[in-house]
Amino acid sequence: MIVATTIEDVKKYVKEWKKQGFSIGLVPTMGYLHEGHASLIKRAKSECDKVIVSDFVNPIQFGPKEDLATYPRDFDADCKLCEELGTDIVFHPEPSEMYREGFHSYVGVDVLSSELCGKSRPIHFNGVCTVVSKLFHISEADKAYFGQKDAQQLAIVKRMVRDLNFNIEIIGCPIIREEDGLAKSSRNTYLSAGERKKALVLHKALTEGEKMVRAGEKDAGKVIRAVREIIESEPVARIDYVEIVDWNELQKVDIIDGPILMAVAVFIGEKVRLIDNFIVE
């Protein structure tokens, strides 16, 4: 496995692979890899000749009061996992490599980015779109793999690719959960043992919401109230949002009569903000 830290290095290998007609899969990550990431790498490996995993904590997608400085990192463990899974290149650049002096170009997707997490994280999705655009160009990947846990991110990246005619296919992959239902996330490491147990309320609430929708409940308000009630029964949980939006434009719906995303963001304790969701197509 190659560990590349410069854009030039990655491009050199990509050029060679393209010459030989290999297909390329990209798995963009911010490192601290867990089974959710592993599932993306395995899927990429099964569908592409070569797999590039980017391991880069992207500074421009963090707001000034967010957890950029403390975001968990363990590059050695990431490399070990990537190697075990047959990754061809781990791309691990410094921020100064990705954002050289005089960097002034950004990519953004209107409308979808102002909803859900966009309300409390106004710059986040422009930072994501910018870095993934760069990674798409650098890797020249045929396919890129994203987890459904960040459903809004998945919808936005798909829209960007469609609107701006990127030559890449975006593959959304299912949420990977712990045995007890908690969605895997690098940020779960911030939870104390007690908080970890209490965080299960997200999955419990969403399971109830999904059951209602699948049983035919059309009143979005009713489903939202039921989900909120379960989350609010847990005193350490503080709701950022609980919403049902259409799985296209990500706009709030009152009546469920097409594909929807039900998404929640909840603070567990003072600082840890977790997201989770379900989609009914």
Catalytic, out of 37, 92, 124, 203? 37
> Is residue 276 close enough to count as binding ligand PAF by CB under 6 A?
no
Whose CA is closest to 150, among 183, 119, 179?
183
> Is residue 55 close enough to count as binding ligand PAF by CB under 6 A?
no
Whose CA is closest to 159, among 149, 142, 174, 172?
172
Q: Based on CB atoms, which residue is closest to ligand PAF, 7 or 256?
A: 7
Name the minimum Å distance from CB 271 to ligand PAF.
Answer: 19
- Where do we find the tokens 């939202």? 224
Choose which of 58, 130, 139, 152 interacts with ligand PAF (CB under 6 A): 58
What residues form DSSP beta bridges with 272? 268
Q: Alpha helices of the chain — where are they, by DSSP H? A: 7-19, 35-47, 75-84, 95-98, 117-120, 124-139, 151-163, 193-198, 200-214, 220-232
Q: Based on CB atoms, which residue is closest to ligand PAF, 128 or 223?
A: 128
Contact set for ligand PAF, span 146-165 (CB under 6 A): 150, 153
- Is 34 one of the annotated active-site residues of the chain? no
Burial of 152 (0-12, 13-18, 19+ CB in 10 A): buried
Choose which of 40, 44, 128, 176 interacts with ligand PAF (CB under 6 A): 128
Q: Applying CB under 6 A, which part among 10-18, 25-33, 168-176, 257-265 lies near ligand PAF?
A: 25-33
Name the minimum Å distance from CB 134 to ligand PAF.
Answer: 10
Choose which of 10, 13, 43, 61 interacts with ligand PAF (CB under 6 A): 61
Q: Based on CB atoms, which residue is closest to ligand PAF, 48 or 57?
A: 57
Burial of 162 (0-12, 13-18, 19+ CB in 10 A): exposed
Q: Based on CB atoms, which residue is closest to ligand PAF, 94 or 229?
A: 94
Name the minimum Å distance from CB 173 to ligand PAF.
Answer: 12
Burial of 11 (0-12, 13-18, 19+ CB in 10 A): middle
Name the minimum Å distance from CB 210 to ligand PAF.
Answer: 23
Burial of 142 (0-12, 13-18, 19+ CB in 10 A): middle
Choose which of 10, 117, 131, 156 interacts with ligand PAF (CB under 6 A): 131
Q: What is the DSSP secondary-structure string of 28-72?
A: EE-SS--HHHHHHHHHHHHH-SEEEEEE---GGGS-TTSSTTT--
Choose which of 25, 28, 36, 93 interacts with ligand PAF (CB under 6 A): 28
Q: Based on CB atoms, which residue is closest to ligand PAF, 30 or 244?
A: 30
Q: Based on CB atoms, which residue is closest to ligand PAF, 57 or 182?
A: 57
Order of strands across the sheet that contains 272-280: 237-246, 260-268, 272-280
Residues 6+ apart with CB under 8 A from 74: 31, 32
Choose which of 7, 29, 129, 203 interacts with ligand PAF (CB under 6 A): 29
> Annotated catalytic sites, by residue?
37
Q: Which residues bind ligand PAF (CB under 6 A)?
A: 28-30, 58, 61, 128, 131-132, 150, 153
